[in-house]
Amino acid sequence: MNAFRKDFPVLSENKYAYLDSAATAQRPVQVLKAVEDFYRTANANPLRGLYELSIKATDAYEDARARVARFIDASSSEEVIFTKNTTESLNLVAYSYGRAFVKEGDEILIAVSEHHSNIIPWQTLAKEKNAKLVYLYPNEKGEYSLDEVKAKCNSRTRIFAMAQVSNVLGIPKPIKEYAKIAHSVGAVMVVDGAQSTPHMKVSVRDMDADFFAFSGHKLMAPMGIGVLYGKKELLEAMPPFLTGGEMIEYVTEQSATFAEVPHKFEAGTVNAAGAVGLAAAIDYLENVGFDFIEKTEEKLTAYLLDELKKVPHITVYGSDSYKEHVGIVTFNVDDCHPHDVASILDADKVCIRAGHHCAQPLMQFMKVNATNRASLYFYNTEEDVDRFLTSIKNVRKELGYGS
Ligand SMILES: Cc1ncc(COP(=O)(O)O)c(C=O)c1O
């Protein structure tokens, strides 16, 4: 049992073996308390009032922005925009940057393993602009070769959008190498960090991402707060995304000028409590430490993968190396629909994900309709994995197969 588990109310009585952290993480009491404290002691509309309480709310919100900037190693907090989630962050880039800078005949390069959040905004943009959406395809392990990336990046490529870690295959990508290729042809590199930020140290400057999106809820923050990082000169050149209160400088009956970045992209009352919760989650995460997170996840993933492979009638997808799974193990049980598998596990209070994982083009590429996914985080234990294994060994019998 690791020392951090007691901080998580949902896990504290060991009722559930929670193996669905890639969908959303559990929250520690420290995050819940930070949100409660904000509402108890600093609640007013941030960025609007001139009185002490509103200034407190504004300070808490802007301190959270600075905390995020340090977390992802941005050059300044002006490059950090608060959104609802990864999906909204990627839509912001597609609607604002995409509509301003992508023209007919241009190309947008993405991977077939992307989450729908990193496909549909580009599909929509490509249709609207008569641009072309070009796909990269992985090998069995889930890797995309630099040769294929080089072959598909050309002078027409305006945007290259890729997840740092796939939510199905888990494998981390060499984004820094991809960004070099994107930049060599004048394209911008958009990185979906939804599955990387909870598990590994990220430096947007080192990988040279032009845009980087992530969701707070996958790293223990409240739902409804997300981040878009963008290089300042790009954000400044982009038109606003949503419009209305807070994002303006001066408004007349027929026209408006807009606020400076990042506020230009934060229309309406902001989610200050969410931002404060995100800062608390980042503090918690960094206190646990990425060393501990990586070691714990590697150990548990190795155990889960090794034992799962011994179970007959199981197919595991992606790399053979536990190190490349980032806590994500996607699999199928022969003849059993993933929804049935997840329901049987649910009866044993084992929580896993089943379905297409918002990655239908990848499912089509892998020639499966759906899969199961167990995903681990540092608060999981060997006992969670044992409960999963005991339950999974029972699935085919439950469904009436002899073995
Ligand atoms: C790789 C990846 N990208 C994007 C998303 C979308 O995140 P959200 O639903 O928080 O916007 C997810 C969520 O599972 C994801 O795993």
Distance separating alpha carbons of residues 60 and 46, to the nearest angstrom:
9
pLDDT of residue 1: 63
- Answer yes or no: are the C-beta atoms of 267 and 287 closer than 8 Å: no
* Torsional class of 8: left (φ above 0), alpha (ψ -120 to 50), beta (otherwise): beta
pLDDT of residue 2: 83
Domain 5-19+289-398 has CATH 3.40.1800.10: no
- Answer yes or no: are the C-beta atoms of 163 and 115 closer than 8 Å: yes
Pairing type for strands 157-163 and 107-111 reads parallel
Q: Is the CB of 189 under 6 A from ligand 1?
A: no
Q: Is the CB of 83 under 6 A from ligand 1?
A: no
Q: Is 351 a catalytic residue?
A: no
Q: Where are the domains of the chain?
A: 5-19+289-398, 30-286
Distance 86 CA to ligand 1 centre (A): 6
Q: Is the CB of 271 under 6 A from ligand 1?
A: no
Residue whose CA lies nearest to ligand 1 atom number 7? 86
Topology of the domain comprising 30-286: Aspartate Aminotransferase; domain 2 (3.40.640)
- Answer yes or no: are the C-beta atoms of 81 and 65 closer than 8 Å: no
Atom of ligand 1 minimally distant from the CA of 358: 14
Mean pLDDT for back-to-back runs of 10 residues, the chain (403 residues): 91 94 98 98 91 96 98 98 98 98 98 98 98 96 94 98 96 97 98 98 98 98 98 98 94 95 96 98 98 97 95 94 94 97 98 96 96 98 98 96 84
Distance 194 CA to ligand 1 centre (A): 5
Distance separating alpha carbons of residues 306 and 110, to the nearest angstrom:
32
List all residues 6 or more positions away from 244 whose beta carbon is below 8 Å from its beta carbon: 267, 268
Distance 249 CA to ligand 1 centre (A): 33
Distance separating alpha carbons of residues 379 and 10, to the nearest angstrom:
11
